[in-house]
Structure 1
Amino acid sequence: MGTAAATGVWGRAEQQDFRSRVRGTLLGAAVGDAFGAPLDGLSLDEIRAAHGTEGLTEPAPAYGRRGAVTAATQLALFTVDGLIRAQVRRDTGAWHPPTDLHRAYRRWAATQSDWGPDERREEDGWLAREEWLYARRAPARACLLGLGNAVMGTLERPKNPDERGPEAAVRSAPFGLLVGWEPQLVLQLAVEGAVQTHGHPTAYLAAGAHAVIVHGLARGEAVDGALQRTLALLAAHPGHPPVADALRHALGAVRQGMPTAARVEELLGDGTAEGALAVAVYCALVGEDIRHGLRLAVNHGGPSSATGALCGALLGALHGETALPPGWLTELEGRPTVLELADDFAMEMTQGPALHGPAVSAPGWLARYPRG
């Protein structure tokens, strides 16, 4: 994987491995989001009263059904859409991925106010015409405010500069799937995507850190190695200590014996971005399998859907799609869309020149991901 990502020359086995990790990351994040969604807003005592002393161990209904995802998954999918569109537009010389991300996030914002996709413009592409994405699933106020106008946030002038929530980190896993990029550029782009809605350094650096960890896992590294690289890269960024300290705390907790809900809640702290990321990393490290890791990640009195999604993305990138619980996947809302988008992303990243470029153009692809 590392050689193919570096050289841009992909063998069949490498393409298949990459596609499995892309699918695993996006499906894992969505499954974790849906698994945690019924617990959002509940204390640990309330969770145990409703689901038993072990807490929630199997998917339960939220928003009227099992497998329902939140706005975090919706935004993660639009992140993928924006990244594909940025690659497609690169041929025109208009190479500025943050602009394509902002446009994609604005397309998501329209789904939160429009009745449905009936009047969507052709230049919006296929994802914005997926009717199930028009459900309003507890979008964070910071996301609605940050994307509520056409002004794009930048690192110098971020949107919502006091916002420390985990929502920007939850949508940042797709940046880590840019396996041909250097990790510091992955971190930078994830930060530039995060400041559209979450302008506090803790929030946007947690988003960057999550992306870099996913990047290492998607390239075949172990969790510990990906974490060490992330800590080294964070050190160059002002405001990094809370995020770096949270990640080190997660590593230290691994050595403190059997995992418990109390230890998870200690790592979580007040539920802001760095604590949610620490919980995800800890549960990915100590989980015996993906089910166990996700159960640990959501059974606490904080933002369970966010920690579930963050952990699910890490485990999916590490193990690939076939390690995900099949019974949980069967009920996942929007699974066909997630798979289609994942496969499109993998195809663009490994075979983009065969889809668009100076010598070739696939009209069907450009209809799905317009350059406008």
Structure 2
Amino acid sequence: MTTTAGASTALWSRVRQQDHRARVRGALLGGAIGDALGAGIEFASLAAIRAAHGPDGVRDYVSAYGRRGAITDDTQMTLFTVDGLIRAHVRRDTGAWHPATDVHQAYLRWAATQHAHRPGERRPDSGWLDRQEWLYSRRAPGNACLGGLADDRMGTLEAPRNPESKGCGAVMRSAPFGLLAGWDPRHVFRLAAECAAQTHGHPSGYLAAAAFAVVVHAAAHGETLDAGVHRALALLASWPGHEETTGALRQALDAVRQGPPTAERLESLGEGWVAEEALAMGVYCALVAQDMGHGLLLAVNHGGDSDSTGSLCGNLLGALHGETALPPVWLAELEGRAAILELADDFAMELTQGQALHAPGSSSGVWLDRYPRTLRA
């Protein structure tokens, strides 16, 4: 199995494939559960949450967007990140290999769902994810995401979109970069940063996304979260403008050592509206989690961006422990569960068995219908 960006992954054992698929499923579904747990209390203060739901805060889904278990733009954009990464691998058959471009095209397709009312208004060859009607719903998307994708110009690290923005809208969608099995962490870091700069051009906006992807990458490879955090810190050190992100991660590590986890200790790390705070809060909750349920409830019960911090914590714990650690009662009621699971399996299959699905000379028509080779769909 190779460890360089973009190289074909080969010689996967069956056990390794099963382990990777379980972690991909866990990360995507876990992030969606955390997102949905926080969706109904996203703009409430901690005092208001406790007044409405008791001294321990929410313990279950709260109705949002007309239902329980509803996901937000965090999960929507995460799924389109996955779609873009699959298409990057499929398009490589044409001789093209620039994953940031494919992810940008996926984000443009997500932006179109925020304006179109149903899939029938899209081109018939757009691909599988674009045909999922439940995704055609506005779930409080951030202005930087919408503004950065308002036209076709792709932001880059050299010329980023929204250079003053460091909201959490890039970090909350970046777990899939960490699920790129076999990639070197340095390449994971850079690709996540490149794709974050397409909407969030402040260094803290894209470096927090890159650091998060590296921590997910460590978890997805069976390493500890602590090891992933320290690897992210080492990679951050060579990037200009890393100080806020580095400081936030160090604060999260310090908070772990300060005593039992509480909502007040979590709030000492921030509110999660900006990228480095959301990163620190999600990482802290994952580090101190006794189990998936404990970590997710800690991550959403605070007076800030509860769905984003819940999503980040869920991504991390799901990648670390796999799908069987997900609380069944929350999984059963999760919006879009079947589609998220299907996309997760497609992603894992592409990364581990893609060579059996498509090649320059011969490809599965079903697979190319799901993930077309066309750059713009």
User: SS state of the match for residue 239, structure 1?
Assistant: coil
1:301 alignment partner in structure 2 = 303
1:330 alignment partner in structure 2 = 332
Mark the CA change 1:270 to 1:325 in structure 2 (over 3 Å): closer, same or farther. closer
Aligned residues, how many? 371
Single out whichever of 118-127 and 293-302 deviates more from structure 2.
118-127
1:142 alignment partner in structure 2 = 144
1:288 alignment partner in structure 2 = 290
1:270, CA displacement in angstroms? 6.5
Q: Given the alignment, which residue of 22, 32, 36 partners 1:20?
A: 22
In the aligned structure 1, how far is the partner of 2:231 from the partner of 2:9?
Answer: 21
In the aligned structure 2, how far is the partner of 1:253 from the partner of 1:183?
Answer: 25
Q: 1:256 aligned to 2:258?
A: yes
Mark the CA change 1:348 to 1:7 in structure 2 (over 3 Å): closer, same or farther. closer
In the aligned structure 2, how far is the partner of 1:45 from the partner of 1:202?
Answer: 29
Single out whichever of 22-31 and 159-168 deviates more from structure 2.
159-168
Deviations 1:248-279 (A, max 9, x none): 11111111111111110011257311111111
In the aligned structure 2, how far is the partner of 1:183 from the partner of 1:123?
Answer: 34
Q: Given the alignment, which residue of 87, 109, 122 partners 2:111?
A: 109
Mark the CA change 1:344 to 1:353 in structure 2 (over 3 Å): closer, same or farther. same
2:65 alignment partner in structure 1 = 63
Deviations 1:172-215 (A, max 9, x none): 00000012111011011111111111111101100001100000
Q: 1:155 aligned to 2:168?
A: no
In the aligned structure 2, how far is the partner of 1:141 from the partner of 1:213?
Answer: 27
Bigger helix fraction: 1
- Say whether the 8 Å CA contact 1:6–1:180 is kept in structure 2: no
Single out whichever of 154-163 and 307-316 deviates more from structure 2.
154-163
In the aligned structure 2, how far is the partner of 1:277 from the partner of 1:162?
Answer: 18
Single out whichever of 313-322 and 226-235 deviates more from structure 2.
226-235
In the aligned structure 1, how far is the partner of 2:9 from the partner of 2:49?
Answer: 49
Q: Given the alignment, which residue of 270, 273, 276 partners 1:271?
A: 273
In the aligned structure 1, how far is the partner of 2:22 from the partner of 2:272?
Answer: 34
User: SS state of the match for residue 40, structure 2?
Assistant: helix
1:357, CA displacement in angstroms? 1.0
In the aligned structure 1, how far is the partner of 2:265 from the partner of 2:2?
Answer: 35
Mark the CA change 1:189 to 1:270 in structure 2 (over 3 Å): closer, same or farther. closer
| TM-score of the aligned structures, taking structure 2 as reference length | 0.96
Opposite residue 178 of structure 2, the aligned amino acid is G
User: SS state of the match for residue 170, structure 2?
Assistant: helix
Opposite residue 148 of structure 1, the aligned amino acid is A
1:199 alignment partner in structure 2 = 201
1:219, CA displacement in angstroms? 0.6
2:135 alignment partner in structure 1 = 133
1:38, CA displacement in angstroms? 0.8
In the aligned structure 1, how far is the partner of 2:9 from the partner of 2:274?
Answer: 38
Moved >3 Å (runs of 4+): none
In the aligned structure 2, how far is the partner of 1:15 from the partner of 1:356?
Answer: 18
Q: Given the alignment, which residue of 167, 191, 215 partners 1:189?
A: 191
Q: Given the alignment, which residue of 154, 168, 171 partners 2:170?
A: 168
Q: Given the alignment, which residue of 347, 350, 366 partners 2:349?
A: 347
Mark the CA change 1:6 to 1:104 in structure 2 (over 3 Å): closer, same or farther. closer
1:320 alignment partner in structure 2 = 322
Deviations 1:227-258 (A, max 9, x none): 11111111111111111111111111111111
Percent identity of paired positions between Structure 1 and Structure 2: 64
User: SS state of the match for residue 124, structure 1?
Assistant: coil
- Say whether the 8 Å CA contact 1:166–1:274 is kept in structure 2: yes
Q: CA RMSD in A?
A: 1.5
Pairing of 1:85-124 with structure 2 (within 5 A)? 85-124=87-126
Opposite residue 156 of structure 2, the aligned amino acid is T
2:222 alignment partner in structure 1 = 220
- Say whether the 8 Å CA contact 2:300–2:306 is kept in structure 1: yes
Q: Given the alignment, which residue of 16, 22, 30 partners 2:32?
A: 30
| TM-score of the aligned structures, taking structure 1 as reference length | 0.97
User: SS state of the match for residue 117, structure 2?
Assistant: coil
In the aligned structure 2, how far is the partner of 1:136 from the partner of 1:335?
Answer: 18
In the aligned structure 2, how far is the partner of 1:270 from the partner of 1:88?
Answer: 35
In the aligned structure 1, how far is the partner of 2:294 from the partner of 2:222?
Answer: 22
1:123, CA displacement in angstroms? 3.1
Q: Given the alignment, which residue of 219, 229, 232 partners 1:230?
A: 232
